[in-house]
Amino acid sequence: MPLSLNYLLKRLLWSAAVLVGVAVFSYVVIILSPGDPAAKWAGNPRGPGAAKAVEEARKELGLDLPLHLQVLNFLRMVFTGNLGYSIAYRQPVFAVLARNLAATLELLFAAYLIGVPLGSLLGVAASLRRGGSVDGFLQTLGLALASTPSFWLGMAVFSALFSAGFSAYGRVSTGLALATGFQAITGFYLLDSLLQLNIPVFVDALARLLPPALAVAAYPTGLCLRLSRALVADALLEEYVRAAVAWGVKRRVVVWKYAFRAALPGLVQVAGTAFAYSLIDAMVVEYVFGREGLGRLLFDAIAFSDFKLAIGLLVLVAAFYLAVNTLADVAQALVDPRVKL
Amino acid sequence: MRRGVIVGVLAAVLIAGALAAYFLLYLPGARREKVKTVVYAYLDKITGIDPSIEDDTGIVIIGLVYETLLRYDPVKNVTTPVLAESWESNEDGTVWVFKLRRGVVFHDGTPFNATAVKLSIERARDVYRETGRGCGYIWDAVEEVEVVDNYTVRIKLSYPQRLDLMAAASYSAYVFSSSALAKAGASSPFDPKLEEWFNSGNDAGSGPYYIEYYSPESEVRLRKFEKWWGWSLVNNPDAPDVVVIKIRPDPLDQYNGLLAGEIDIASSVPRANVRDLAARGFKVINMTTFHNYILLLNVRRYPTSVKEFRLALLHAIPWDEIVDVALKGFGRLGSGILPHGFPGHVENLRYSYDPTLAREYLKRSGVEPGVTIEFVYQSDYEENEAFAQLLKSRLAELNITVVLRPVPWTAVKDAGKEVWTNPDAAPHLIISDWWPTMPSPYDYLYSLFHSESVEWNWAGYSNPEFDELVNEAYELEGVDFTEAMQLYAEAQMILHEEGVAVNLWDEVRPFIVSRRVEVPEDALNPMYMYVIRFELVKVRE
Amino acid sequence: MSAIRARFNSAAGFLDLAKRAWKKSARFRAGTLLVGIMVSIAVLGPHLAPYPLDGWGVVPRNAAERAGKPPCPEFPFGTDSLGRDVLSRVLVGARLALVQIALVVSVSLALGLLVGACAAYYKGPVEALLNYVSEIFLALPAMVIALALRLALGQGLHVVVVSLILSWWPWYARSSYVYARAVVEMEYVLLARLAGVPGRTVLFRHVLANVLPPVLVQAITDLGSVLLEASAINFLGLGLPPDAPDWGIIVQNGFRYIVSMPWISMFPGVFILATALGFSLVGDSLREEMDPKMRRRWKLWF
């Protein structure tokens, strides 16, 4: 599995170039939309400091410069991580984004750790009963899971738990966090609480993480179910698998070491790409469960007319997509002996 | 197989170790500190805590951390001495003498005296005069503040005024310690460094609580000030040691917090859930404040520039449905411009819901049917949203299309102020929610309708007769209060006749209090909106 | 090359495919049924609704008594916080749902096909540029574009539709580019050019006709995915205003009351699910029928 440095370098350069394009696009949105770009950048301020704030925004964006210099200036701002101070949080935009990215990633990881294995296993089960009613049912289930609106599922889960007496709100109980002196270190609460040997917070954070994770996991479960069913079913028809069966290899080994192994590269790549799409699902579900994270930033950016935060979010999400896609391709190449890079 | 066993044993050991650590380190620890904490969920982020300049949501903090000379409850018509023990004025109300309380210290230990009072009054007044910021206009009549001795202040006014009422204002009437200047590195009281120092979370107050932690968008923690002069008078050993003010703008968020036991006092829950909470054993306090919602009509933009059209609109508003449908029973239908219980309130200055009359006015206005108007209101207020949809539905019956534009508060202000620069870009209808700084109708009538008040006069109303009436009334307050109120009533009637604006409803906000906290009635005063006097609150564990 | 073994190249061909799928696949039948129901609701909605005014968002006269009723015979889906019948709102909302997705998919499809085919045909710097631009939008989910547009342009249908089109067209561009690249090499295209037939005609007639079939099937599945994304965008308040008759908006209205009046959000969500599922079932079974080998192309699984 030669993973050439050349390929990796080319991919990285290409992704960087695309990211530049994304930044340019966002700049175009700022400039071309109706209204004064400087006022928008400053968050439509009011009161006595307003004129000054707009003037500062004008300088920051370099609106008096010729167009190509404006764009370059903006690109510089984006890529040095200096988009200024978020209006909603009064902190540097990238600091706010970084802090909240961890929260959303934790949710995404949890969702995929549940969804991908679950979906794949169900898919294998369906492929073994190919053509039967169980197979049909599972395939439809897969489609249904992938067609469920995540925010609605999140609300259903939340409401069901609530009537059973458990509020899955937020990431951790603030009272508990205060009482046990919990500190956020990495931003991944499960990790942080273990690092501080803070079991009550660990249990609490886990309990609040699972319900939203289940809501986000619906899509990858459905996806992996259908995909693994298709791939494994095909693989089981392949010559070498039939040969193995004829040779008397144990059924379990055939299914898992041969057929499933063959399906793995495809699963990895699809799951990897889907991981990027699920970011949005995670953000919406975060909003439903009142968790801190990129979803809340989305909401606050609107509430405070925080253009800087919105642009930062846009660039971050694009960077995330590109990174995940590259990683997924690389991972697939590593797993699939047939792909030569 | 063997590998699995080893992994299982390791996992068991780890879990056992962690559990042991938990029992050893945390359980006893959590029981050690018995700090009486009350969590108060507030619905808006704190806009600032400068005692002289803050004019918005910061009052929640300032009202606890700082003190005024006097406190006034307009509904009960009772003035309570706070930092001033007694006061008197001369015959024509142009010279006021305040005798200050002894034995008061600020949070940093500096003693409270007349110098601090002089500094505070002058700063508030002058910042307003220079920059138009804050509510220092309450001290506008103040010509000179004389420090007679450490505990006596003589104030000379350039025209007669009820300075006792001004000294009890909810904004810009707070006294802070002069030590703040040195700490902020400010060269004068007007050095912006002082304001920055305040807004970074520092306090120079004398109130029963001081600021321990300040994060205006999320949480502010206040701790009991042991040396406060009033503890012996209040005699409340159950007062909280720590007050945590959490910023939670989402009502559902607050509702969840209450049920999870994280919030003790919620200021905003979905109204539909209030009965549910009461059934679960929570106490519901219907907080009546002077916070009201005034609908302003843009008199400079067609078709609301036509008086008959405005009147048609006002008679098409379903007044009888507002409280039940839009407010879910929590609110009081407005009358005139001023809220109930406020000085100068005029009863029965309303419009009737009369579609026939409305149609009549519409015909008289000459406006073509099928016209479209724009309505801007603040987006996160549930009641505004419900009212807007109600209004839209009813006006549709008159063949008037309403375009709803819910936007954040800053955008509401921008939209409203636009009426003076570009009236056709300003909305036809806009809701301004208002609460008073000083216990005088001038606060409402000047700010919202005087032709010089471009900041808040979003109707674009300019009527010299009205202006004169209001000015006259203000000057009369210090001389003949009752007569002044009469003039204010006349001013409101002018507005009513011309259909410029109307008080939609007076806010009745259901505050939900958990069982472990008791909020007595005198901890709340409608003049100081949303301020809970925690020194009177009892925490039962 | 085998992927271009198109099973149809005309409307008649497509109908044949559909008939075959109907006979063979239960899922196709189920999907078509669901889609059929939703389309009929969309067309007839306002006439089917017991309280059509409620459906359009008008607050009824006796709102105070009616508000917040759980599902009962009079209001099968209950009423919302302002007393409007939820069943009527959901029925009327079907129309806007289908309009949004039809608009988004048709425009992105047209745009994407054009871009992809042009990139393959013209090659060289045009190809590189178009690929680059589509990569940019491939990296941007509709939600964040909607955020930026919402701040720039304010609320409205345009925000939802434009952001979705911007994020969706590159998918079609990529698919059509891949197919078109192979088609362009085919001999008859070269011969046509040599014969002096203008470039554009060649493009339309040969390239697009061959590219359209599988991409069209993908588009059907996409109608469901777009609905899910559009609903999410409206749910967060980035698109339509809060009184619009849209399923996502109704869910948003009910969000605040999820504990006390769960039916407000529940029912529109079921309809979103059913519609998306319907399209997915149809698209999935059509794809199976058309070319079973195509499932190896991972990218088409979304």
What's the rounded mean pLDDT across residues B130-144? 88
Which one has a higher pLDDT value, C78 or C15?
Answer: C78
The answer, yes or no, to whether residue B214 has pLDDT greater than 50, is yes
Asked if the Cβ–Cβ distance from B257 to A44 is below 8 Å, we say no
Q: What's the mean pLDDT when you consider all of chain B? A: 88
**Side chain identity at C191, as an amino acid letter?**
L
Nearest chain A CA: its distance from C255 CA (Å)? 8
CA dihedral B525, B526, B527, B530 (to 10 degrees): 80
Percent above pLDDT 70 for chain A: 94
Give Cα separations from A146 to A140, A192, C289 (angstroms).
10, 32, 21
Q: Enter the tokens of residue B308.
A: 């008959």
**How wide is the angle at C-alpha C292 spanned by C-alphas C291 and C295, nearest 5°?**
105
- B269 contacts on A by Cβ (under 8 Å): none
CA–CA distance, B395 with B315 (Å, rounded to integer): 10
CB C242 within 8 A of CB C190: no
CA–CA distance, B145 with B166 (Å, rounded to integer): 14
Helix (H, G, I), strand (E, B) or coil at B406: strand
Of the ranges C62-71, C125-134, C177-186, which one carries the lowest mean pLDDT score?
C177-186
Query: Which one, of A129, A131, A137, A119, lies nearest residue C301 by Cα?
Result: A119
Which one has a higher pLDDT value, B68 or A237?
Answer: B68
Q: Kindly indicate the confidence band of residue B446, based on its pLDDT and cuts at 50, 70 and 90.
A: very high
Which pLDDT value is given to residue A269?
82
Asked if the Cβ–Cβ distance from B256 to A90 is below 8 Å, we say no
The answer, yes or no, to whether residue A8 has pLDDT greater than 90, is no
The answer, yes or no, to whether residue A186 has pLDDT greater than 50, is yes
| Segment 57-76 of chain A within 8 Å of chain C by CB | none
Any idea which residue has 């410069």 for tokens? Answer: A65
Which pLDDT value is given to residue C6?
44
Q: Kindly indicate the confidence band of residue C9, based on its pLDDT and cuts at 50, 70 and 90.
A: low
Which pLDDT value is given to residue C3?
39
Give Cα separations from A15 to A19, B485, C150, C300 (angstroms).
6, 71, 27, 22
The domain locations on chain C are 2-301
Touching subunits for chain B (3+ Cβ pairs under 8 A): A, C
Asked if the Cβ–Cβ distance from B250 to A175 is below 8 Å, we say no
List residues bridging with B244 in a β-sheet: B39, B221
Asked if the Cβ–Cβ distance from A302 to C251 is below 8 Å, we say no
The answer, yes or no, to whether residue A292 has pLDDT greater than 90, is no
Helix (H) and strand (E) counts for chain C?
Answer: 13, 0
What's the rounded mean pLDDT across residues C165-177? 90
- Alpha helices for C83-208 (secondary structure H): 86-122, 124-138, 142-153, 157-185, 187-194, 199-202
- Alpha helices for B200-349 (secondary structure H): 231-234, 251-259, 274-279, 307-316, 319-321
**How wide is the angle at C-alpha B27 spanned by C-alphas B21 and B29, nearest 5°?**
100
All residues at 6 or more sequence positions from C109 whose CB lies less than 8 Å from its CB, including other chains: C169, C172, C215, C216, C219
Which of B56, B410, B458, B514 has the most A C-beta neighbours within 10 Å, making it the best mutation to test the interface with A?
B410
If you write DSSP's letter for every residue of B29-87 in order, what string do you get?
HHHH----EEEEEESS------TTT--STTHHHHHHH-EESEEEETTTTEEEESSEEEE
CA–CA distance, A134 with A128 (Å, rounded to integer): 10
The answer, yes or no, to whether residue B257 has pLDDT greater than 80, is yes
Asked if the Cβ–Cβ distance from A274 to C302 is below 8 Å, we say yes
Nearest chain A CA: its distance from C140 CA (Å)? 5
CATH tag for C2-301 (out of 3.40.50.300, 3.90.1150.10, 1.10.10.10, 1.10.3720.10): 1.10.3720.10
The answer, yes or no, to whether residue B499 has pLDDT greater than 50, is yes
Check: pTM over 0.90? Answer yes or no: no
What's the rounded mean pLDDT across residues B419-424? 89
The alpha carbons of chain C give a radius of gyration, in whole angstroms, of 22
List residues bridging with B475 in a β-sheet: none
A193-228 per-position pLDDT tens digit: 888 888 888 998 999 999 999 999 999 999 999 889
C214-236 per-position pLDDT tens digit: 788 889 999 999 999 999 999 99
- A88 contacts on B by Cβ (under 8 Å): 217
Which pLDDT value is given to residue B36?
85
Asked if the Cβ–Cβ distance from B252 to C242 is below 8 Å, we say no
Asked if the Cβ–Cβ distance from A34 to C237 is below 8 Å, we say no
Asked if the Cβ–Cβ distance from B22 to A197 is below 8 Å, we say yes
Phi-psi region of A43 (alpha: psi -120 to 50; beta: other; left: phi over 0): left
Strand-strand pairing, B429-434 and B372-378: parallel
Nearest residue of chain C to residue A25 (CA atoms):
C136
CB B503 within 8 A of CB B338: yes
Residue B522: count other Cβ atoms within 10 Å of its Cβ: 12
Q: Kindly indicate the confidence band of residue C106, based on its pLDDT and cuts at 50, 70 and 90.
A: very high
Which of A44, A199, A286 has the most B C-beta neighbours within 10 Å, making it the best mutation to test the interface with B?
A199
The answer, yes or no, to whether residue C203 has pLDDT greater than 80, is no
Looking at the complex, does the CB of residue C102 fall below 8 Å from at least one CB of chain A? no
Nearest chain B CA: its distance from A289 CA (Å)? 9
Asked if the Cβ–Cβ distance from B321 to C68 is below 8 Å, we say no
Any idea which residue has 């968050």 for tokens? Answer: A43
Asked if the Cβ–Cβ distance from A139 to C152 is below 8 Å, we say no
The answer, yes or no, to whether residue A145 has pLDDT greater than 80, is yes
Q: What's the mean pLDDT when you consider all of chain C? A: 83
B346-364 per-position pLDDT tens digit: 998 999 999 999 999 999 9
Nearest residue of chain B to residue C243 (CA atoms):
B389
Looking at the complex, does the CB of residue A302 fall below 8 Å from at least one CB of chain C? yes
The answer, yes or no, to whether residue A341 has pLDDT greater than 50, is no
